[in-house]
Amino acid sequence: MKKLIFILSIAALVSCNSGSNTGTNNSVEAQTLDQEDMQTKKSFYDFTVKDIDGKEVDLSQYKGQKVLVVNVASKCGYTPQYEDLQKLNEEYGDKIAILGFPANNFGGQEPGSNEEIKKFCTGNYGVTFPMFEKVSVKGVDKHPLYRWLSDKSQNGWNDQEPTWNFCKYYIDENGELKHFFQSAVNPMDEEIIKLIES
């Protein structure tokens, strides 16, 4: 009888261990799949975002173009840069796409709705470059595009997230992030113009 109980105990133990190993394997497989998914998502063109009117925009439409991604705000000391962004768009729009992403992460300086932001930009600065819906550019709710822009495990080299409104990310014709510019760098700065003309 004791021998039978011993054998049954061993069988139960082996069964439990094999079950837990299967769970571990599944967990490892899931982690591997997540890592593979992140590793394949390295291009700017892999993202879809919503424009300021709520329409889906596949960023792959910018393949072959240089792009400047800017987090913008309506009540910031740098807000007049809208004028320079529009000037850049008018003078170099055939060579670079300027994409504006309103964000309220810094000093609550973009409190408006998408509709209010659109009205402000077009009414005050005549903005004609693409504007997108208000997003978060830092913190736990950071938009996936901004996660890619500010995480070197995804973009290849840069960990710098926006430090204030009107930070600028330059993406080349191959969808690769190449430069980060702080807010104080004017859109018409010589370094940006050189990148556009190169």
Question: Domain segments of the chain: what residues?
Answer: 1-40, 44-197
pTM of this structure: 0.80
Tell me which residue of 89, 92, 90, 99 sits closest to 62, measured CA to CA.
Answer: 99
| DSSP 3-state of 163 | coil
Q: Give the pLDDT of the chain (198 residues) as one tens digit per residue.
A: 545 444 444 444 444 444 444 444 444 444 444 454 444 457 999 999 999 999 999 999 999 999 999 999 999 999 999 999 999 999 999 999 999 999 999 999 999 999 999 999 999 999 999 999 999 999 999 999 999 999 999 999 999 999 999 999 999 999 999 999 999 999 999 999 999 999
Among residues 150, 156, 57, 41, the alpha carbon closest in space to that of 100 is found at: 57
Are 136 and 106 contacting, i.e. CB atoms less than 8 angstroms apart?
A: no
What whole-number distance in Å separates Cα of residue 29 and Cα of residue 7?
A: 33
Tell me yes or no: is domain 44-197 CATH 3.40.30.10: yes
> Hey, what are 161's tokens?
């997230």
Count of CB atoms situated within 10 Å of the CB of 103: 23
16 is catalytic: no
- Exactly one of 16, 76, 121, 167 is catalytic; name it: 76
